[in-house]
Chains A and B, each alone.
Chain A
Amino acid sequence: MIVFFRVPVLATLLLLFFGSPAQARTWSFRAGPQGTLRAMLDRASDGDTITVEGVVKEGVLNIDRPVCLIGKKDAVIDGGGVGEVIVITAPDVTIQGFIIRGTRISNLDDNAAIKVKECARTTIRGNRLLGCFFAIYLSGSKGAVVEDNEVIGDQVEENQMANGIHLWKCSGAMIRGNTIQYHRDGIYFEFVTDSRIERNTSRFNMRYGLHFMFSHRDGYAYNLFENNGAGVAVMFSHDIDMHHNRFVSNRGGSAYGLLLKEINDGLITDNVFTDNTTALLVDGCNRIMVERNDFLLNGWALRLYANASACTFTANSFHGNTFDLGTNGDLMLNTIAANYWDRYVGYDLDRNGEGDTPYRPLGFFSLLVERLPYAMVFSRSLLVSLLDRAERVIPSLSPEAMKDDRPLMRPPHG
């Protein structure tokens, strides 16, 4: 009886002292002449935590075991411009609370402040990555969390910068609460699946605030994309859920609030598009549902190309846009129904909340400009507004299906 009792106790004690992650130690490192962070990393075991103070400048820092690196106030890791700064090759690594800088700009190597190579469950939290070529670069990573980082490229050398948060062949990533500025693309996804992007702010980037390529079953929500060179682009991907984002002030001939190119089965709901040259461009897409979005004060609210099919536009609100809709052909295989259009001047005699006559969002001038872009100089001229009015009353150019049969009398929300 006594023997049976003692053995489990002994086993538990042994486990407590020598086994399990419960034994993880915390080391503290202060940069100075007495030792290197590299040496301390070599002494640390799996699951240990190292707190760091001061400026660490030891060239490329390889993290090859599962440890947690925590920067105390103003701790810096400076790569010194030799190449990458931190390279992670082990699972379960955390990098938190550092200022990281000193990547080398290169045409040949994708140098990053934090490069994650083929490993799982990396956490990158609360760092400031300043003037880096690539800032955070995840390659072949699973289940990474990148949150609350401030990623600021170099404003002066912006066209030298690469992407802020770059994911390549990853899955299950969470990108949350980061701010990204002055990079090429703020957030870039290529071959990334089952991942989320939430509550980030991406602005003043040279190309796109967010860029999807060949990435599927991902979602992004509650982000702000503002003043990026060309807005946001979602290309060659399927099953992307896009909701509650704001697309603001993306202006220029090839700038879009949101550019959709060859996207299938996407959801675009509850977003706000304000002050963009083109708020939403739909090119070669199938089965996109666009619902409850606000289009405010854009050049074109919607450019829907004839190669799009089975897309539905419902319960959206169009307010103060120069053009509500533009298209490039006669074909219309999409459904536009029950939206609010501020230009609609019909009546609702049966008081069901829907106008009694259809609204035709495609003006004559919108069609003309799509064919002859330089005709834009006549925008807002008397002749154009007369022709526009005529086209709405007696439609002769616009595709017959290009109309909303149940235009709402009031904005559907807000």
Chain B
Amino acid sequence: MKASFLLFLPFLVSFASCGQTVPQIDYGKAECGHCRMTVVDQRFAAALVTKAGRQYVFDGPECMVPFVAKGTVAESQVASWYVCDHAHPGTLLDATKAYYVQGPAFRSPMRGDVAAFATTAERDAAQARDGGDKLDWSQVKILHQQ
């Protein structure tokens, strides 16, 4: 009994870790789940992980939000949302806690033009430099759901 439990332990650990890991985006190879464009821009890319552990990669929030709004993956099935930190390209942030600015100076691949930041200081600095409007995650979602 004990032996058989030990036998399954590694599987349990690996399953448990599945849902927790931050997705790895294979830039230049991965295809956007919504618009099919190959994802290359490390300042804007986004990703989500479902409760089943499946990962989807996107060009940016402007593709991730409508992908879920369209219902390919139900919103209730999304375990975590990620967006790239515009100030530190390639680093993924928890999308629900990030600080956003939207404006034409941020030329994202699909022209949603939303940049995400980890801190308000970095976001405010970017806004001071390039203009645009401050947003939070709920506003980003409303913006791209139409």
Contacts and interface: CB of A to CB of B under 8 A. Distances in A.
B43 interface: yes
Nearest to A252: B29
Contact of B31 (A107, A110, A214, A253): A253
Nearest to B87: A107
Contacts of B107: 110
A28 interface: no
Interface in B79-94: 89
Contacts of B89: 107
Interface residues of B, number: 15
Given A159-B28, A253-B31, A254-B31, A206 B40 contact: yes
A99 to B, nearest CB: 27
Given A107-B43, A235-B36, A259-B36, 9 more contacts: A107-B89, A159-B27, A159-B28, A213-B111, A233-B36, A235-B35, A235-B37, A253-B29, A254-B36
A207 B28 contact: yes
A207 B36 contact: no
A254 B38 contact: yes
Contact of B38 (A110, A213, A229, A283): A229
Contacts of B22: none
User: A interface, by DSSP: helix, strand, loop or mixed?
Assistant: loop
Interface string B71-112: 000000000000000000100000000000000000100010
Interface in A163-191: 184
A261 interface: yes
Nearest to B43: A107
Contacts of B27: 159
Contacts of A252: 29
24 contacts: A107-B43, A108-B129, A159-B28, A159-B40, A184-B40, A206-B28, A206-B40, A207-B28, A208-B38, A213-B111, A214-B111, A229-B29, A229-B38, A230-B38, A233-B36, A233-B37, A235-B35, A252-B29, A253-B29, A254-B29, A254-B36, A261-B35, A261-B36, A283-B36
A261 B32 CA distance: 12
Contacts of B29: 229, 252-254
B143 interface: no
A213 B108 CA distance: 12
B104 to A, nearest CB: 11
Interface of B: 27-31, 35-38, 40, 43, 89, 107, 111, 129
Nearest to B32: A254
A230 B27 CA distance: 12
B40 A254 contact: no
A400 to B, nearest CB: 27
Contacts of A206: 28, 40
Contacts of A107: 43, 89
A-B complex: 3 closest residue pairs judged by Cβ atoms? A254-B31, A230-B38, A207-B38
Contacts of B31: 230, 253-254
B60 to A, nearest CB: 13
Nearest to B130: A108
A259 B28 CA distance: 16
Given A107-B89, A235-B35, A261-B35, A207 B40 contact: yes
Interface in A287-303: none
Contacts of B28: 159, 206-207, 229
A229 B111 CA distance: 22
Contacts of B36: 233, 235, 254, 259, 261, 283
Contact of B30 (A213, A214, A233, A254): A254
Contacts of A261: 35-37
Nearest to B129: A108
Interface string A268-308: 00000000000000010000000000000000000000000
A233 B107 CA distance: 19
